[in-house]
Structure 1
Amino acid sequence: MERQDVNDLMVFLAVARERSFTKAAAKFGLSPSALSHTIRQLEARLGVRLLTRTTRSVSPTEAGGQLLQDISPLFEEIGSAIDALNILRDTPAGTIRLTAGDYQIQQYIWPKLRSFLHQYPDIKLELDVNYGLQDIVSDGYDAGVRFGEQIAKDMISVRIGPDVRFAAVAAKSYFARQDIPTHPKELLQHRCINLRLPTYGGLYAWEFEENGREIKVRVDGQLVFNTIYNVLEAAVDGFGFAYVPEDIAKPHLESGRLHRFLENYSPYWEGFHLYYPSRRQASPAFSLLVNALRHPT
């Protein structure tokens, strides 16, 4: 394989993963037009169209999707092999890409990594805020964060936080005008603030539990957000009920800005885990980061 082919395939991987010439170009320090020219040359050499381009989006064609699936693991192995050379360095180094929701980053990742990054200045970290359950291998991430029960069995997982419980909350300015719900199903009669999950393309169904039986309630209301902190803020402002992690609601509950309801119906869920491919050859930098995030047993 010619060196030019390798370089052009790296450009293709970046554009296909980012679904954007502009975002991919920023990673290479080049112009979007330069990357577009590179892709056209690659397509001409291969004799097949790899990307579908519109004025607003870029997406792999069927051939491009197959190529992305086939070569992503190969480039990942090359990256891991290069990272492994860092063991010969005096200090750990390398770039680590993580994807997680903003709640997981703010509550479980960033507090542990402030001192870690000061201690290891040659380790670079890229954090992607994303609520989708992404394929970290094909999307080029070293690791992701999910609830323990959501992790595929072919992945290695490391717990990074305690069990999580959600809280149904509302501001006094809202519930003072409404009947107080005594059962999760009664939330259907209330204005609620929804969270959209991109993986499923729909709204999150609030999950409760009664006598060991799961209850899912698909609520309705005036507002829909795609981040949990916006949901919480809207609840504080009196726009209805919200269902949020109890640790981020706690300061508002203690101050009286929010009140909690249906607590006996809110189950505990297995805490968040860092997960990564079992075949990944862990670099010293990645191993140190995993240990820094690990939740004490």
Structure 2
Amino acid sequence: MRGSEYAQLRAFVAVVEHGSFVRAAAHLGMSASALSQTIRQLEERLDVRLLNRTTRSVSPSDAGARLLLRLQPALNEVDAALAGVTQTPGTPSGRLRINAPRVAAIHYLAPLIGPFLNTYPGVSLDIVTDERLVDMVAGGFDVGIRLGESLDQDMIAVELSGHLEMMVVASPAYIEQFGTPHTPHDLSEHQCLSYRWPTDGSLYRWEFERAGERLAISVKGPLVVTEPEMLTRVALEGAGIAYLFEHQVREHISAGRLVHLLQDWTPAFPGFYLYYPSQRQMAPALRAFVDFVKKPMPPDS
């Protein structure tokens, strides 16, 4: 492979990763027009359109997605090999792209970022929050974060959050006015604060389990959101019953501002995991990040 051909492939991957010719050009240290010309030369050489371009976005075509699926692991291997030769042991460098749902990014990833960057100043992180299950390779991500139940079997997984618990909560004022639900089915008689999946627009059905019995309850009420962080405040104001992660409400339950309902119907479940594709040779920056996640954080972190 000639050097120009390798540069063209690198340019193609950069455009897909950044979703923009302008951002990719800045990353590569070249002009957007030069980058566009490089991509045109690659498409002409292969005689196939690799990118779908609009005035607002750039995305891989079917052929481009197939190329990226095969190309990204090969380029990662090249990067890892070069890094292994040029880097001094113990000094990882380079960029890591991380994909994570928003709640995991805020509550479990964010506390690690400062200490990690202070420990490894040569590494930079590019974090994308996304509720969808994305193809990591096609999306150009090095590592992702998802609930354990959503992981593919061929991924290597590292526990990030430990077990989690969802909690049904309401304010004392709401309970005084509307009463207490004693079973999940009782929720049909209550004002429930709903969550809409941003991926497909469907309403989340509240999930419960007790003694082997599993339920998925459709609820109704005065509010539907795509940002669940809003629901804690609304529940505190007594406007309805919310279904939230334990870490979002534990402080308010301890202070008596919220009441934990249906406790025996919400057992703990496997939480968030860091995951990445199996590779024969991991890039030093990825190895450093995975090892950092495995290391227990100090109690005051």
Cα distance change of structure 1 residues 288 and 39 upon mapping to structure 2, 3 Å threshold: closer
Who is 1:64 aligned against? Answer: 64
Q: How does 1:86-101 map to 2 (within 5 A)?
A: 87-89=87-89, 91-101=91-101
**Cα distance in structure 1, aligned partners of 2:253 and 2:122:** 41
TM-aligned CA deviation for residue 63 of structure 1 = 1.9
Contact 1:86–1:94 at 8 Å: present in 2 too? no
Task: State the one-letter code of the partner of 2:47.
Answer: G
Q: CA deviation at 1:275?
A: 1.2
Deviation readout 1:227-284 (Å, 9 max, x if unpaired): 4323333433444322211122111222333222111110210132211111252234
Alignment partner, residue 242 of structure 1: 242
Please name the residue that 1:143 is paired with: 143
- Corresponding residue SS for 1:146: strand
Aligned position for 2:76: 76
SS at match of 2:207: strand
Identity of aligned residues (%): 39
Q: Which amino acid aligns with 1:66?
A: R
* Aligned-residue offset at 1:154: 1.3
1:152-199, Cα deviation, whole Å (9 max, x unpaired): 221111112321101112334544443432221232343433334455
Distance 1:90 1:258, change over 3 A: closer
Check conservation: 1:113, 1:292, Cα contact below 8 A.
Answer: no
Distance 1:107 1:44, change over 3 A: same
Q: Which residue of 1 aligns with 2:214?
A: 214
Q: CA 1:37–1:221 in structure 2 vs 1: closer, same or farther (change >3 Å)? A: farther
Contact 2:16 2:140 in 1 (8 A): no
RMSD: 2.8
Give the direction of change, closer, same or farther, for the CA distance of 1:207–1:84 in structure 2 (3 Å limit).
farther
Q: Which moved further from structure 2: 197-206 or 141-150?
A: 197-206
Q: Aligned residues, how many? A: 296
Q: Distance in 1 between matches of 2:157 and 2:51?
A: 34
Shift in Å, 1:6: 2.4
* Matching residue's letter, 2:14: A
| Structure 2 contact 181–262 (Cα < 8 Å) conserved | yes
**1:86 and 1:284 in contact (8 A); partners too:** no
> 1: distance between equivalents of 2:105 and 2:146?
11
Q: Using structure 1 for the length normalisation, give the TM-score.
A: 0.84
Q: Does the 8 A contact of 2:168 with 2:243 survive in 1?
A: yes
Structure 1 unaligned spans of 5+:
none
Find the aligned partners of 2:230 and 2:84 in 1 and give their Cα distance. Answer: 40
